Structure 1
């Protein structure tokens, strides 16, 4: 029986191999160790541009010198360098205050990574592990951090993100990051590119006027319901057929289908909540297989828009209420809901969610949200959930979807 079973801290060997990656490295090392009667306490391995780093922590055998020489011979035969360090005790458990810090950059510069690492060190925290989530069309890096509360880390890194021109998402390292969730999305300028009401206004010859009011409302400068009713009034007389033309002209945000498709495979529910119009959002929901939808209904009489809305307006408070309603229907706790939006009327919805993401949002919204994503790819949100680009592409390939090749 070894020391570890006897309840005493065992002597250990930390074996670190570095060199060109090739098949059989790990099996060769453990083949060498197998006759020594050691127990494996920890293993870490990474491959970076064809270079392998393998770390193995084992209990020290009685014949330490013999095992050390055998491992060195194995490393030499593999053409690799090896470092063997003798010590006492297993790896320490990671400290409390565990968080995931996801950094998105296009490009991601060394100065930005250095600044982020510096702020983490300033807080007395430690980076326990680093993983690459994607290398194109943005670079996404996930840091496992311990030793500081998530809220304090988020505050410090939010300021650094602005200085460095990168996106940084900070989330507590809990099971919710992997659990089935509900994603609630805004539509205009989030799920889709542009604003539907402005596209409709083009048919009424008042696009510029409507766009100015929309922009002011999204910045939170004027009441949303008041602004919506005034804009819709300008659409009076537009033929209902314009809705079909607008729908056909809609462009989804890059990566929208990929995000929905990937998360549906993992059992996620989806909802869209919009200050726009149900005549558009209901069709979007059907097209993307989204479970729930809530939006305003334009009144149509004799084939033309009347310039009025049927029923209550889906405003800032209405969006948050819809989120709670959909979460209850899906059987998902509020803490397991992710909300994504860009305008001031999304703020209550973002605050009602366990994770509120400001997507290419106005400054007011970015400052209030849990995190912000400013790259023009909606599927970048997958990296915040611990899903890598390689996993996405592998699942797509298995299902027969063709994804673009990365740059060489």
Structure 2
């Protein structure tokens, strides 16, 4: 507790009162809370803080109070006598003012996996301790399609940038433990995000549109090889795109509609966008693919912004060229800035999700950059990574629980829980 915290508590406490913590735990039964406060009221107790939780039928109730030291035994006796019929265990302990602060968590850590083992939490907890970070609270936030655990922590060096060494240490645990770990600063900044921007191919959708088009030209192998090299950052994106598009020359423009019909959303994409739109987010897609393929998808998902390349069509045929400036990595970042400005947002209020080297600038510019099943070049610079096939992990990284998602989906009649192997 800081000197200011201690002095504030001294002012808050009534004259002659000492700080104490009262806890009640046991089966969650109707009337426990009412009986608890009835006893406190009868003993003239001052309330300073209260917290109650229910965990799978087990109740935990705690109050930070001001009481007269000479009334301690009377309070204990009253609580024990009143609550024993409810099967509750009671403790009352006088505390030193300097030890009585509620933690002001500096960061939040989200662990996502299928499964999340006790070993994983143990290793993460030890790593936090090694970097002088204290775990303040833990709660479960998801049970489908992955298990999600959220920790509020206090980092010793809470200044901007102070948590970078811890972030790197946690990132190194991901491949060892088989879980995704995200860490963000706690507080209003985390809750202020209001714009999310997705890459399209292999992020918002499961395939690569250029490869789907190339399949109609019998050039899928050649195109796939160039795509992979570009995504690894080995080739300039614009040069590689133009080379791939050349293979499409002469195709009938009707293939665009055929490919658009075959597009498959990444599992969880629709839930993610629908949930964030409910919360007032703007949603965008910026793609190195082609606008003609994405237009209907953007309307279906109610996206606010869509930017992609334009295939040249002459006399109903693809010419093998793109029109205008290519949407490369620099353009993606610039579009993100334009979307934020148009929405009246600061860049720290944005989230970007992508999978390849072409997304590096956009991911770096965003307030939260998420690498989704990404190539190493992108994972190295992203704030956090998703290594499962489920895009709705992003929701949990933003602190949105599965219970909140399901409640909204149920209210609107869109709730679906399908076996994971069938999830689309």
TM-score normalised according to structure 2 size: 0.91
1:74 alignment partner in structure 2: 82
Of the three residues 35, 48, 54, the one matched with 1:41 is 48
1:178 alignment partner in structure 2: 191
Q: Output one character per residue of 1:275-318: Cα deviation in whole Å (capped at 9) or x when no partner.
A: 00001222221111111111100011111111000111000111
Contact 1:3 1:10 in 2 (8 A): no
2:4 alignment partner in structure 1: none
Structure-to-structure mapping, 1:77-88, within 5 angstroms: 77-88=85-96
Structure-to-structure mapping, 1:334-373, within 5 angstroms: 334-373=347-386
SS across alignment from 1:327: helix
Contact 2:44 2:67 in 1 (8 A): no
- Structure 1 residue 10: Cα displacement: 4.6
Structure-to-structure mapping, 1:184-203, within 5 angstroms: 184-203=197-216
SS across alignment from 1:392: helix
- Matched residues, number: 405
Of the three residues 36, 59, 62, the one matched with 1:52 is 59
Q: Output one character per residue of 1:104-127: Cα deviation in whole Å (capped at 9) or x when no partner.
A: 111001100000000101111111
- Structure 1 residue 5: Cα displacement: 4.2
- Structure 1 residue 227: Cα displacement: 0.7
Contact 2:193 2:350 in 1 (8 A): no
For residues 187 and 164 of structure 2, the distance between their equivalents in structure 1, rounded to whole angstroms, comes to 14
2:392 alignment partner in structure 1: 379
1:239 alignment partner in structure 2: 252
Label 1:13 to 1:311 Cα distance change in 2 as closer, same or farther (>3 A).
same
Of the three residues 96, 100, 116, the one matched with 1:91 is 100
For residues 286 and 352 of structure 2, the distance between their equivalents in structure 1, rounded to whole angstroms, comes to 10
Contact 2:260 2:294 in 1 (8 A): no
For residues 194 and 403 of structure 1, the distance between their equivalents in structure 2, rounded to whole angstroms, comes to 23
1:299 alignment partner in structure 2: 312
For residues 387 and 16 of structure 2, the distance between their equivalents in structure 1, rounded to whole angstroms, comes to 48
TM-score normalised according to structure 1 size: 0.95
Compare 197-206 and 52-61 and name the one that shifted more.
Answer: 52-61
For residues 87 and 129 of structure 1, the distance between their equivalents in structure 2, rounded to whole angstroms, comes to 20
2:142 alignment partner in structure 1: 134
The answer to whether residue 36 in structure 2 is matched with residue 23 in structure 1 is: no
For residues 14 and 28 of structure 2, the distance between their equivalents in structure 1, rounded to whole angstroms, comes to 37
Label 1:351 to 1:28 Cα distance change in 2 as closer, same or farther (>3 A).
same
Of the three residues 386, 391, 395, the one matched with 2:408 is 395
Q: Output one character per residue of 1:60-86: Cα deviation in whole Å (capped at 9) or x when no partner.
A: 245221111011122311112222222
Label 1:133 to 1:9 Cα distance change in 2 as closer, same or farther (>3 A).
farther
Compare 348-357 and 372-381 and name the one that shifted more.
Answer: 372-381
Label 1:95 to 1:32 Cα distance change in 2 as closer, same or farther (>3 A).
closer
For residues 394 and 232 of structure 2, the distance between their equivalents in structure 1, rounded to whole angstroms, comes to 23
1:328 alignment partner in structure 2: 341
For residues 280 and 405 of structure 1, the distance between their equivalents in structure 2, rounded to whole angstroms, comes to 28
**CA RMSD for the aligned pairs?**
1.9
Q: Output one character per residue of 1:330-378: Cα deviation in whole Å (capped at 9) or x when no partner.
A: 1110111100000000000000111110011112211110111111111
Compare 228-237 and 3-12 and name the one that shifted more.
Answer: 3-12
SS across alignment from 1:63: helix
Contact 1:180 1:267 in 2 (8 A): no
SS across alignment from 1:37: coil
SS across alignment from 2:30: coil
Compare 71-80 and 109-118 and name the one that shifted more.
Answer: 71-80
1:273 alignment partner in structure 2: 286
1:169 alignment partner in structure 2: 182
5+ long unaligned stretches in structure 1: none
Contact 1:150 1:171 in 2 (8 A): no
5+ long unaligned stretches in structure 2: 1-8, 157-161
For residues 195 and 181 of structure 2, the distance between their equivalents in structure 1, rounded to whole angstroms, comes to 22
